[in-house]
Structure 1
Amino acid sequence: MMVFELFAQLVGIEDPFSIGFSSEEDEDSENYHYFVMERNEFYKKAPPPNLGCVYWEIDDQCWGEYGGIKEVTLNRERLIVHFDPSRPNPHINYDEVRIAFSVNDSEFQKLQNTLQKIMLGYEDRLNLIN
């Protein structure tokens, strides 16, 4: 199994529909890595199947796509995204993303709330562990 692992020095939360994690501030650093997950605002009420309105990206736009997520788990210290093995993008070799992070209680609550909004309509694929 191919896993993308990241210890996020920075956690970005843009309410209502976007979360992002990066390894450091300097985007030009050779050690810079990131993961972004957001919802297309067009699908506020009737989301398409297979998380078709949820966009995710790893390190570059060519390594991103809509949908293809099997399950998302969030706990106090980690976000785990399991991908559907039948997703369409052949450029992405990862089966799973594991992001470790450290935020205060208020930021964690905001992260959890924003992730719930991103996953609205797909609650059966979201695990929130307190």
Structure 2
Amino acid sequence: MGYHYDFGDDWMHQLKLEKIQAEAQPLQILKAVNACSPEDCGGPWGYAEILEILAKKRKTKADRERLEGMDPDFHPESIDLAELKEALQDLSNTWQPKKPRAAKSKTSAQAKTTGQKKILSIAQSETNKPK
């Protein structure tokens, strides 16, 4: 399943449902690599450019201008696992999976129709009786 996160910067994410479990399991982080890209960095291409600039030992004036407005403490390889776990815990406290619906034997419309047919059938048999 595709998820288009930011139409302006064209971030596309691919999500894969691996399995549906009958019982709700606590949400957990299986693997976390690198920090999220900064907001409004120019999409995947802009972020790639920022990564190239950050990797340089000597930055040009244009490089410094490109990084203006970014958090000076941003490090692309750092990740705050405790913060991620806390956010995931908050999400799991607010989101609960739907319980499976029980199968219905007949809908109320089907039951009404069936009942009406029985009444009609009885009425017809009463009118067809010899007098």
| TM-score (normalised: structure 1) | 0.22
| TM-score (normalised: structure 2) | 0.22
- In terms of fraction of residues, the more strand-rich structure is 1
Q: Which has the higher contact order (CA 8 A, sep 6+)?
A: 1
Q: Which of 1 and 2 has greater Rg?
A: 2
- In terms of fraction of residues, the more helix-rich structure is 2
